[in-house]
């Protein structure tokens, strides 16, 4: 039996995008995020964040600070009854200034390395998974492994070369579509 999971981009999907967010106090949950994630939690569907964090490669913040940001994010979600099962991030960027992270890699979206790691860790069938994000690379990332991509319409949304499977108003709308799609 295939196991479905839902991958979420972080910025402008779960939280308001703050370019190179480096302060945990700068986290602002987007509307209806808690309700959307809880709906997945109630159905025992793993909810996994996959996020590019080139601010590490650019020397804007380090992995310890990113850990503090993610710890606060998880705490904010837990306070409203929502659970994220895992967070995977890519600290790399080929134009980075921190030598250890200044490289191309297989984890930076739209590459699928983070998805493969999560699939192994959670026993997921990537072809049965979904990804929700506000950028074309989010849709491309999940399409590369045969899953379905949902594009959120936010002020910074770009268009996908390969069309999304669904275009949603917000995370709650996206999750409702996924839950209906799973039933079909």
- Identify which has the larger pLDDT, 83 or 154: 83
> Given a cut of 80, is residue 157 above it in pLDDT?
no
Q: In sequence order, what are the residues at sequence separation of 6 or more whose Cβ sits closer than 8 angstroms to the Cβ of residue 20?
A: 55, 58, 60, 61
Average pLDDT, the chain: 93
**Residues listed for the chain:** 184
CATH classification of 6-183 is 3.40.50.2300, yes or no?
A: no
pLDDT band of residue 24 (cuts 50, 70, 90) is confident
Least confident of 2-6, 17-21, 35-39: 17-21
CA dist 123 and 118 (Å) reads 8
pLDDT tens for each residue of 37-64: 999 999 999 999 999 999 999 999 999 9
pLDDT band of residue 20 (cuts 50, 70, 90) is confident
pLDDT number for residue 1: 46
Give exposure, 85-110, as e/b (b: 16+ Cβ within 10 Å).
bbbbbbbbbeebeeeebbeeeebbbe
- Identify which has the larger pLDDT, 128 or 156: 128
pLDDT exceeding 70 applies to what percent of the chain? 93
């Amino acid at each position: 039996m295939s196991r479905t999971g839902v991958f979420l981009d972080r910025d402008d999907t779960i939280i308001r995008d703050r370019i190179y967010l480096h302060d945990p106090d700068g986290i602002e949950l987007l509307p209806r995020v808690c309700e959307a994630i809880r709906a997945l939690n109630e159905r025992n569907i793993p909810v996994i964040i996959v996020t590019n964090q080139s601010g590490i490669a650019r020397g804007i913040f380090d992995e310890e600070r990113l850990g503090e940001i993610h710890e606060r994010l998880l705490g904010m979600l837990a306070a409203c009854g929502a659970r994220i099962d895992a967070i995977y991030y890519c600290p790399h960027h080929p134009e980075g200034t921190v030598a250890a992270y200044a490289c191309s890699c297989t984890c930076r979206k739209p590459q699928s390395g983070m998805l493969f790691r999560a699939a192994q860790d959670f026993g997921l069938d990537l072809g049965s998974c979904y990804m929700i994000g506000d950028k074309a690379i989010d849709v491309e990332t999940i399409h590369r492994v045969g899953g379905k991509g949902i594009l959120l319409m936010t002020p910074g949304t770009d268009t996908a070369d390969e069309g999304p499977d669904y275009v949603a108003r917000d995370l709650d709308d996206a999750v409702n579509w996924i839950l209906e799609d799973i039933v079909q």
